[in-house]
């Protein structure tokens, strides 16, 4: 009997998969058998980092550029859908991805979308250990993006109240198609670069303090100086 190849798992594999049933499901959903799903509250501090950078360092035209980038992304998705409607051969996952982009743009303003994608880039750079392989990060980025769209949410009844439930399962290849759209926007890399610059700034500040301390205290006297 073969066992699941996910670290620490001893369950038998599911059919021809190299993973057990649970890890196979996690991989399909989160991009990696051990990737933990990201919650909106986890992302909040990173969105604040992006907002603070935009209001203190970025040019005043940054928001125009962010709008332009997202509008171009939506226009390309609309063009994809239009072509498919005219009978141009299409890839079903790519078309689903384009549909999700257009639907999202109808529900959520572009600045919110762009800030979320940049915040994911910041998080990736700031805390690499959180991500199980790049696939885990890519899937979570797409998932967070889709979850911005209230129409994509699934609702379920518990008792008398209807509560927002788990996000609708998206086929992995549609997630991959969505990632390639997001990646082409360069927004993830801008977020990552903002995190790198922040880390560099903190390091420079620490070095300044150390230099001042050394200047004031001078060399430490050792042995028998008195």
Which spans of this chain sit near Zn ion (rule: CB under 5 A)? 4, 6, 9, 11, 20, 23
DSSP bridge pairs for 164:
155
Could you give the maximum distance between any two Cα atoms of the chain, in Å?
92
Q: How far is the CB of 22 from Zn ion (least distance, A)?
A: 6
CB-hemisphere CA count at 13 Å for 75?
A: 7
Nearer to Zn ion, 11 or 206 (CB): 11
Nearer to Zn ion, 11 or 39 (CB): 11
Q: How far is the CB of 136 from Zn ion (least distance, A)?
A: 16
Q: How far is the CB of 176 from Zn ion (least distance, A)?
A: 23
CA distances from 149 to 74, 105, 108, 179, 219 (A): 15, 9, 7, 16, 60
Nearer to Zn ion, 23 or 30 (CB): 23
> If you search the block for the tokens 């801008």, which residue do you land on?
190
Q: How far is the CB of 70 from Zn ion (least distance, A)?
A: 38
Nearer to Zn ion, 4 or 188 (CB): 4
Q: Is the separation of the CB atoms in 136 and 30 below 8 Å?
A: yes
């Amino acid at each position: 009997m073969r066992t699941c190849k996910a670290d620490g798992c001893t369950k038998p594999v599911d059919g021809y998969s190299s993973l057990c049933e649970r890890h196979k499901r996690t991989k399909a959903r989160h991009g990696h058998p051990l990737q933990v799903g990201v919650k909106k509250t986890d992302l909040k501090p990173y969105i604040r980092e992006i907002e603070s950078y935009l209001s203190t360092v970025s040019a005043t035209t940054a928001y125009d550029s962010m709008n332009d980038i997202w509008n171009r992304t939506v226009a390309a998705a609309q063009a994809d859908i239009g072509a498919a409607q005219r009978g141009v051969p299409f890839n079903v996952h790519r078309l689903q991805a384009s549909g999700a982009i257009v639907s999202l743009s109808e529900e959520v303003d572009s600045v919110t979308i762009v800030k979320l994608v940049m915040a994911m880039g910041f998080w990736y750079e700031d805390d690499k250990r959180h991500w199980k392989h790049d696939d885990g990060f890519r899937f979570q980025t797409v998932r967070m993006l889709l979850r911005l769209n209230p129409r994509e949410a699934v609702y379920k009844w518990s008792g008398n109240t209807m509560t927002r439930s788990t996000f609708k399962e998206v086929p992995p290849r549609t997630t991959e198609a969505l990632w390639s759209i997001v990646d082409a926007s360069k927004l993830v890399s801008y977020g990552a670069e903002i995190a790198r610059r922040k880390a560099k700034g903190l390091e420079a500040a620490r070095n300044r303090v150390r230099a001042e301390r050394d200047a004031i205290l001078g060399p430490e006297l050792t042995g028998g100086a008195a």
